[in-house]
Amino acid sequence: MQITRQADYALRTMLFLARQKPDHQPPTRKVAEEMLIPTSFLAKIVSQLAVTGLNNTARGARGGISLAKPTNLISVYDVVVAIDGPIHLNECTQDICTCPFGDTCPVHEVWCEAEALLVAKLMKTTLAELLEREEKHKK
């Protein structure tokens, strides 16, 4: 399993927005430039994040993008799922019937446990925590 480039860009975008002052809405062009994201690709990402309620967008000369919630209420999981959809390590974690071995499969439980750990970590890690980590690395 690998997080898509689009989800990585989305997380970088959200971190960029988290660094902004509350009343500041940078234009998409500036975010794309600073985060090294193709502008057309970022427009699609920003749109998807807005649909899921993670960011706000405003058009026009004074338009731009901003977080829709405080940084402590947006998790890495929220961002990844907004872009990539639900996280599943294997199709059997969603539906045991997809496995020809069903309930007797010795690996099924391992996949489910690993997926649960990953999801829990991503849900627990907020943008606020990532900003704190960033500050520690600067020192």
Domains of the chain (ranges, CATH numbers): 5-138 (1.10.10.10)
pLDDT at 95: 81
What is the model's pTM? 0.88
pLDDT of residue 5: 94
* Neighbour count for residue 114 (Cβ, 10 Å): 14
pLDDT digits over 112-123, tens only?
899 999 999 999
- Smallest CA-to-CA distance from 49 within 101, 25, 84 is with 84
**Residue from 103, 137, 105, 130 nearest 13 by CA:** 130
Pick out the chain residues at pLDDT < 70.
1
The reported pLDDT for the residue numbered 97 is 76
- pLDDT in the model for residue 137: 83
How far apart are alpha carbons 131 and 95 in whole angstroms? 36
State the pLDDT at residue 71.
Answer: 96
